[in-house]
Chains A and B, each alone.
Chain A
Amino acid sequence: MREMLSMIVVLTVLTAVSGGLLAAVKVKTEPRIEEQVLKFQKAPAIKAIFADATNDPIKERFNVKAEDTELQVFPSTLADGIKAVAFEAKGTGFGGPIGLMVGVNLDTDEIIAVRVTTHAETPGIGSRAKEDLSFVGQFAGMSMASNFGTKGQGGDIDAMSGATVTSVGVSQAAVAAQNLYKKLKPEIVKQMN
Chain B
Amino acid sequence: MAQSLVKEFTKGLWAEIPLFRLVLGLCPALAVTKTCENGIGMGMATTFVLLFSNILVSMLRNIIPSKVRIACYIVIIATFVTIVEFVMQAYTYELFLKLGIFIPLIVVNCVVLGRAEAFAGKNTVMLSAADGLGMGIGFTLALSSLGAVRELIGAGTLTVWGGTPLFTIGHGYIPFQFMVEAPGAFVGLGMMLCLMNLIGKK
Contacts and interface: CB of A to CB of B under 8 A. Distances in A.
B119 to A, nearest CB: 20
Give the size range of B's interface with the partner: 20 to 34
Given A14-B75, A18-B79, A21-B83, A39 B93 contact: yes
Nearest to A18: B79
Interface in B67-116: 67-68, 71-72, 75-76, 78-79, 82-83, 86-87, 89-91, 93-94, 97, 100-101
> Per DSSP, are chain A's interface residues mostly helix, strand or loop, or mixed?
helix
Contacts of A29: 86-87, 89-90
B64 interface: yes
A21 B93 contact: no
A6 B75 CA distance: 16
Contact of A25 (B60, B71, B86): B86
Given A36-B93, A120-B100, A25 B68 contact: no
B65 interface: yes
Nearest to B79: A18
B64 A32 contact: no
A144 B34 CA distance: 41
Nearest to A3: B65
Give the size range of A's interface with the partner: 20 to 34
Contacts of A26: 86
B63 interface: yes
Interface string A11-43: 100110010011001100100110011011000
Nearest to B65: A7
A123 B71 CA distance: 29
A11 B68 contact: yes
28 contacts: A3-B65, A6-B65, A7-B68, A10-B65, A10-B72, A11-B68, A11-B71, A11-B75, A14-B60, A14-B72, A18-B75, A21-B79, A22-B86, A25-B83, A25-B86, A29-B87, A29-B89, A33-B86, A33-B89, A36-B89, A37-B89, A40-B93, A40-B94, A40-B97, A95-B101, A120-B100, A120-B101, A123-B100
